[in-house]
Structure 1
Amino acid sequence: MINRRTALASTVAAFAVVASGAAMAQSKTLYVGMNGGNFERTFTQGVFPEFEKANDVKIVVVPGTSSDILAKATAAKGKPQMHIMFLDDGVMVRATGAGLCEKLRPGPELEELVPGVRMKDDLAVGVDLGMTGLAYNKKMFDEKGWAAPTSWMDLADPKFKGKVVFQSASASSFGLHGFLMFNRIQGGNESNVEPGFSKFRETIGKNVLEFIPNSAKISEMVQTGEAAIFPLTPTAVANLKDKGIPVEYAQPKEGAVVLMVAQCVIANNSEPDLAQKLAAYVLSADAQSRMMATGSGVPSNTKARTATPEAEAKLKAFHSNMKSAVTLDWDAINAKRPEWNSRWNKMIER
């Protein structure tokens, strides 16, 4: 016969197992692939904590460039290791075309977005709006008495010899944008890049101090006086200025290039409901207001609100510049991108 003490111990043990199981069920983790640096900090400090608290979930960022994240998602397509990924728009077109994303579920957030950010079949949606233009070392320009740049062709001005920093067109959206705008100025388009490849080295290329894989080194190179001018976004410029780095943004007369960071829920991930819930929250006015307040991002949700008059002024200036922004033909780009990457690495960065 089971005595009272044994029965009590069994009950306690059983309760502990149930409680442990419940705790384990609640302790879910979502893995999110996104660009590191300021973008990662914006979301880990300003956006994700509210969702984590409300849903008893841990969000772990897998940092990397858009190309890095796409490669990881492609390698694990059969058994995804991530739940959501944030990619630059051009790279996201490749991801959706490769069947890596699942359709976002209908919700009120989708109806609040600015026009043009919902990608084909709602497989991905723009979260952070931007554009690639020119940025320059304000301290150096002031000391030299140089006027602010006004054209993409200023990158080829002889006075900037050894002072141009250019992101690799094979690895960075900023570098690709700069190259394709140069190509357009030379008479080409996304279906014909021969003018760009034939003339880049003898013009802009002659001025380039270093081709960098991403923009992480720009802060240091501005402070050491190595970098005078480089492709960059208004948001990235604002983040550098917040750190006391003497940079300014300049809108090229030929137009900046639209650069949208989009998110998608990765197809066949292990937490489809929770991943869809996070994707919906990221698009909400609350999350996008937090994104803007924390990291100077530009929201895609029309109901997001700025925290200060200064932020409102920046947003107004951004929308003014967007009126002349150029949208690239990503279908044409992605069809030839591997070939371009090889040519760039052999012809330009050799």
Structure 2
Amino acid sequence: MTPPFAPSLRAMLGALLLAAGTAHAATHTLYVGMNGGSMEKTYTEHVFKAFEQANDVKIVVVPGTSSDILAKAMAARGKPQMHLMFLDDGLMYRAIRMGLCERQTASASGRKLYPQAHIEGDMATGVTMSMTGIGYNARMFKEKGWAPPTSWQDLADPKYKNKVVFQSIPSSTFGLHGFLMLNRIQGGNESNVEPGFKAWPQTVGPNVLEYVSNSAKLSEMVQSGEAAIFPFTPSMTTIFQSRGLPVAYAQPKEGAVLLMVAQCVIANNGEPELAQKLAAYLLTPEAQKAALEGGSYNPTNTDVAASGKAGQELTQMKAYLKTAVTVDWTQINQNRSSWDRQWNRLVER
């Protein structure tokens, strides 16, 4: 005989299952464009999980270089497919000018950022900070008895003939920074790069073995012993070292160039409130400490504290920041396309 409460029990169970199914279906997905490789791994494994659990959301990384991500955002500007994107600071200024970003909501953590991390009135904010100086193959330098480099002008030293690897400025912020510093040494500035282009064939140019577009190729050339010296950052140096590559970093006496990876909430995205919430979370000391400890991504929030190896990296980065050089991205972006054409015509012929 069927118990009298069975129908109501079945109805209750059915309602619970329906509610569970509805809750599952309601789980939101946020798409974040960012560099693949080390950054994607660090943020996926160490940073995003806490936000996902607290907000019943799934974060999916759309990997690519900053140029790739910007191109994707431009192509889908009418109906954005991403909710947030990470770009090198120079490209972020371009994205803002194109109307691809919306102003970020003020937050307590946002008020703790380094001044440089507030971009165009918080149309974007820096999430990790480094700088472009000089990387070198420590194993090769030891074998050759070479002293560590001390100046951007060392890239033109004849002893490095066919041992310099330089990043292409159309595709790499590292290469652009290096070129701009060498241009300054020749008397130029961001509104006049002719001194740099004119001097290149007699200075750095003869030493360059290869112009590369990404760090993966550079990694191979360090491993094979082809690359001796190149524009590089302390953060990438730490990452390369963790892979067993014999790379060291040198701070040029003329200064290294400030380099940030910045985030922007993509304008007219389909989850504006949740995207803003994620952007605010990524500025918190907790999120930035996780990125530092998990992948050596140095924070832009001044309240981040760490111990051990991460603490040492943080202390060193703060020391480097004292002499960091900033470049004029407004002037750069006005002229970047013509520089790229000139570089392709005169340098990487």
TM range (shorter): over 0.9
2:143 alignment partner in structure 1:
143
Displacement of 1:150 after TM fit?
0.8
- TM-score of the two chains, using structure 1 as the length reference: 0.94
Displacement of 1:291 after TM fit?
0.7
1:343 alignment partner in structure 2:
342
Deviation larger for 126-135 or 36-45: 36-45
Deviation string 1:285-321 (CA, Å, 9 cap, x unpaired) is 110110110011111112212131x332322222222
1:289 alignment partner in structure 2:
289
Deviation string 1:171-206 (CA, Å, 9 cap, x unpaired) is 000000011111111111000011111221332111
Question: What root-mean-square deviation, in Å, do the aligned CA atoms of Structure 1 and Structure 2 show?
Answer: 1.8
Q: Unmatched 5+ residue regions in structure 1?
A: none
The alignment covers a number of residue pairs equal to: 345
Q: State the one-letter code of the partner of 1:22.
A: A
Q: Secondary structure at the match of 1:116?
A: helix
Deviation larger for 320-329 or 143-152: 320-329
2:232 alignment partner in structure 1:
232
Q: State the one-letter code of the partner of 1:191.
A: S
Q: Secondary structure at the match of 1:249?
A: strand
1:113 lines up with 2:107 in the alignment = no
1:311 alignment partner in structure 2:
310
Displacement of 1:112 after TM fit?
1.7
2:204 alignment partner in structure 1:
204
1:266 lines up with 2:285 in the alignment = no
Aligned partners of 1:7 and 1:301: how far apart in 2? Answer: 55
Deviation string 1:78-111 (CA, Å, 9 cap, x unpaired) is 1001000011111111111111111111211111
Q: State the one-letter code of the partner of 1:109.
A: S
Aligned partners of 1:191 and 1:109: how far apart in 2? Answer: 35
Q: State the one-letter code of the partner of 2:124.
A: A
Displacement of 1:12 after TM fit?
7.0
1:79·1:269 contact (CA, 8 Å) conserved in 2?
yes
1:322 lines up with 2:305 in the alignment = no
2:21 alignment partner in structure 1:
20
- Structure 1's consecutive aligned runs of 4 or more residues displaced over 2 angstroms after TM superposition are 4-22, 310-314
Q: State the one-letter code of the partner of 1:73.
A: A
Displacement of 1:11 after TM fit?
8.2
2:177 alignment partner in structure 1:
177
Aligned partners of 1:144 and 1:152: how far apart in 2? Answer: 20
Give the direction of change, closer, same or farther, for the CA distance of 1:307–1:46 in structure 2 (3 Å limit).
farther
Aligned partners of 1:55 and 1:18: how far apart in 2? Answer: 18
Displacement of 1:47 after TM fit?
0.3
Aligned partners of 1:128 and 1:15: how far apart in 2? Answer: 44
Deviation larger for 89-98 or 298-307: 298-307
Aligned partners of 2:226 and 2:25: how far apart in 1? Answer: 52
Aligned partners of 1:210 and 1:238: how far apart in 2? Answer: 23
Aligned partners of 2:24 and 2:29: how far apart in 1? Answer: 13
Aligned partners of 2:133 and 2:33: how far apart in 1? Answer: 25
Q: Secondary structure at the match of 2:265?
A: strand
1:293·1:307 contact (CA, 8 Å) conserved in 2?
no
What is the percent sequence identity of the aligned residues?
59
1:101·1:265 contact (CA, 8 Å) conserved in 2?
yes
Give the direction of change, closer, same or farther, for the CA distance of 1:5–1:42 in structure 2 (3 Å limit).
closer
Q: State the one-letter code of the partner of 2:314.
A: L
- TM-score of the two chains, using structure 2 as the length reference: 0.94
